[in-house]
Structure 1
Amino acid sequence: MAITLKYSIDTRTKLKSGKYQLRLRIIFNRSDSFIPTGFHLTKEEWDQKKEIVRSTSTTMTNTTRFNNKLAQDKAELMDKIVGLESAGKLHGLRAVDIKELVYAKPSETYTVLSFIDMEMQSLIEEGRVGTARTLRDLKNKLIKFHGSKIALHFADINYSFLRNLEKTHLAAGSNRGSLGVYMRTLRAIFNKAIKHGIVKEELYPFKQYTIRKSEPFRRALQEDDLKKIIGANLKKGSALSKARDFYLASIYLRGVNWMDMALMKVSNIEGDFERINYKRHKTGKPFSVKIIPQVKQILENLNGGLNYEDDQYLFPILKPEDDGNRIPLKIENRRRKLNKTLKELAGQLEIKTFTIYSARHTWATLSKRKGIPTAGIQEGLGHATEQQTQTYLDSFGNDVLDKYNDMVFGDL
């Protein structure tokens, strides 16, 4: 078992008192999670190498007793983890899962919504804000369907519950695509709760209920709409102009994800703004994308030139002071604000509403229509399978298929 427990102060978030939170870090299976101790110290009071409070500390009146308590707490936590390993409960888990297992409440105190809240907090802690948002949407869906006054327990969710949820969703005019997202997310929650010993396996309702597949929702913009966006006469420096620049930059950089675009820094630039090298936040997969003239112009527009300071963010999405564990949330909030502006832009141009996420689908569909093979689009998006890429690709219209048919039989 390769697991490490280590105390440290969180220097990313400084309190007004000049102190930092003291946390215990769990490192396991190339992942980590943090347990707050409830104590705060200055940098001068903490000895990181020895993981103790210095005897000169003015915060702790008895540093020897406090350091002994820290060592005892760490030893007790390690004993619990060893016990979990002996019971075979650590296989395939992450550090955050271990924290949840060790500090889990008694099973009977969990409701479906409280367990979702716990999972959302863990995801936010890991910086996986997008997945946390999906859980938030599921929670709101369950509250709307079941109500908030009566507690919803895992035992309440059976085949009949799922079928009624499905009927209510479809009767409201919603599609099967969004229903599938809710159901798959709820299934994942059930599996997680079973894994943590919170729910008995015989209560699992998805053995009887089948999540039906549906045609994926096509998010890509048509080429004519994209031309309207590019050619729109917008006031330079306005919110609409900046929103357009962010959207086009995402397309020009092979459908780069908003999170990855926000985290790009000058250090990601190769040569004289020739390429951008980065790792996908979601998967860790490395990318190297050529900077075409349009991207260079956008960077000049957004930053007032290309005179960047060392370690500056490439796109003005994050600010220099935005440093710390709340960065994913700030990126998410700015994404929502951007999408609101893009909706305004769509209304002004009289085209269908679109979001920054559609840039990824638009790049894929444009590439397909220009004759780029699916394997090339798959590599460009960083997908593991062609099936995954197909969900990004729009269907060909009859006019395109007619032309293809003419090409096949024209010379016969």
Structure 2
Amino acid sequence: MANIQLNLKSRKKIDGTYPIVIRIRHNRGFFDISTGESVLASKFDKKKCAVIGNKPLQLHLDELKEKYAKRLRAFVSDNINRPFSLEELKAFVLQKSADEITVEEFWQENIDQLIKSGRGGSARTYKSSHSIFSKIVNLNCSFKAIGVKDLQKVEKELRMRGNKYNSIAVYMRTFRAVCNRAIQYNLVDYEWYPFRKYKIKKEKTIPRVLSLEEIQRFFQADIGVNDPLFKAWTVGKLLFMLRGINLRDLLYLTKDNLRAGRIIYKRGKTGKMYSILVSPMIEDCLRYFQNDRKTLLGIMLDEYLEHPAKSLHSRAQITKRLNTKLKLIGKKLDLQEDLTTYVFRYTYANVARKLGYSKDLIAEALGHEYGNSVTGIYLELFDQETLDKMAEHILQIVSNQKS
């Protein structure tokens, strides 16, 4: 027969107290449920399983115990005619209601899910934002306990540390995404939503892009095959020529993505499908990466293709090495911006705009919806030939094959 009682953990904390737990026993086994409270050993009556000389604490512990006792009785009643294991009992008793799931737990679940799905960049953003929030606001509470004042507290603290509004906006948008998902999962009602009253502040910034003249200088740089910077330079060219492809997507391209003279792939971040004509320039660049691995560049190990979550650290190291070398190339070419893998995406859009292409066409090339949803529907009318011609024109200009 299962039974429940208060108990002390055997391991003492640094301050000399012992954690109080709710212990549930069944079939010579047991599991403990943390109460978050602790007392000195001398302040706990082991025979009565009660705290000595602290009635408010004892009342709180009795309430917690009764909550789990109700679940225990319900489970035993439903399974009175069959034997059940301790694990079955534990799974039922520890299941949490929406009010019991803390912001801390749910945020961590979001991070874990992003890692499992291979979205390393988003996972890092969620981690850094969580780290910032958790140091300013107590997240070991339900969502209902977080209000507008807490958001204002985070903003004020970060401003005092010298953070810019756009940096703060990244943290706030991340927490807003966590809140939106909590509402979606019915952990909290929309009536609670603090972002209805709190508005995320941001400042206008100039995107980090290369000018047309600078990207021409990059493409026409004199970097030989044996130069340690050659591969990073070639990767940079591919990032630009493949319409500002994300580095993660470039690293994961395989020979299966090559079909009938095109590179066809699904963007990891958005799921948007891309179909890009393999021009002679792109083909020449890819030839330098010929390898025995499944990926076109051969930089990412084959084992990571089926388990992208395991590749997060590797991808971070690859990005770091590439950015270090790209910055060296940028200094060598006297470019105004620090050259990184992400600069090429913005630069592709900037060059296309300078050459007179419409924002709608550029948005389609980058996989964005420009304007409202109706505009997004019309963008589907652009055929691949139009996008191919734009890409060909841009490459001719940056490689100085056409004035």
TM-score normalised by L of structure 2? 0.60
Residues 370 and 288 of structure 1, relative CA distance in 2, 3 Å threshold: same
Q: Secondary structure at the match of 1:302?
A: coil
In the other structure, the counterpart of 2:253 is 264
Which of 356, 359, 362 aligns to 2:344? It is 359
2:208 is matched with: 219
Residue aligning to 1:240: 229
From the superposition, tell whether residues 175 and 108 of structure 1 become closer, same or farther in structure 2 (CA, over 3 Å).
same
Give the corresponding residue for 1:187.
176
Matched, 1:208 2:197: yes
Whether the 8 Å CA contact 1:220–1:359 is kept in 2: the answer is: yes
Of 121, 125, 136, 2:116 maps to 125
Deviation of residue 266 (structure 1)? 1.7
Residue 186 (structure 1) shift: 0.8
AA aligned opposite 2:287: E
Q: Does 1:319 align with 2:308?
A: no
Deviation, structure 1 residue 198: 3.9
Q: Does 1:158 align with 2:147?
A: yes
In the aligned structure 1, how far is the partner of 2:298 from the partner of 2:130? 33
Q: For residue 366 of structure 1, report the CA deviation from its aligned partner.
A: 0.5
2:111 partner SS: helix
In structure 1, the gaps of 5 or more residues are: 1-102, 390-412
Q: How many residues align?
A: 278
TM-superposed deviation, 1:177 = 2.6
* Contact 1:193–1:199 (CA under 8 A) maintained in structure 2: yes
Deviations 1:70-126 (A, max 9, x none): xxxxxxxxxxxxxxxxxxxxxxxxxxxxxxxxx964556644333221111011112
* 1:368 and 2:350 matched: no
2:166·2:201 contact (CA, 8 Å) conserved in 1? Answer: no
SS in 1 for 2:265: strand
Q: Residues 47-86 of structure 1 correspond to what in structure 2 (within 5 A)?
A: none
Secondary structure of the residue aligned to 1:283 is coil
Q: Which has the larger radius of gyration?
A: 2
Residue of 349, 360, 368 corresponding to 1:383: 368
Q: 1 CA distance for matches of 2:368 and 2:98? A: 38
CA–CA distance in structure 2, aligned partners of residues 129 and 356 of structure 1: 16
The 1:142/1:364 distance shift into structure 2, 3 A limit, reads same
Relative distance call for 1:373 and 1:312 in structure 2 (3 A) is same
The alpha-carbon distance between structure 1 residues 204 and 327, as it changes in their structure 2 partners (threshold 3 A), is same
8 Å Cα contact 1:368-1:377 kept in structure 2:
yes
Residues 262, 313 of structure 1: 8 Å contact kept: yes
Percent identity, aligned pairs only, is 30
Distance 1:143 1:217, change over 3 A: farther
The one of 98, 103, 115 equivalent to 2:106 is 115
Segments of 5+ residues of structure 2 without an aligned counterpart are: 1-93, 376-403
Residues 300, 198 of structure 1: CA spacing in aligned structure 2 closer, same or farther, 3 A cutoff?
A: same
Supply the distance in 1 between the matched residues of 2:334 and 2:159 (Cα, whole angstroms). 29
1:225-256 superposed Cα distances (whole Å, 9 cap, x missing partner): 32343344445355532222112101011111
- 1:288: how far off? 1.9
The alignment status of 1:249 with 2:238, answered yes or no, reads: yes
Check the 8 A contact 1:378/1:386 in 2, yes or no.
no
SS in 1 for 2:288: helix
Q: Give the 3 Å change call, closer, same or farther, for CA 321–163 of structure 1 in structure 2.
A: closer
TM-score by length of 1: 0.59
CA distance, structure 2, for counterparts of residue 223 and residue 363 of structure 1: 9
Residue 290 of structure 1 is aligned with which of 277, 295, 301?
A: 277
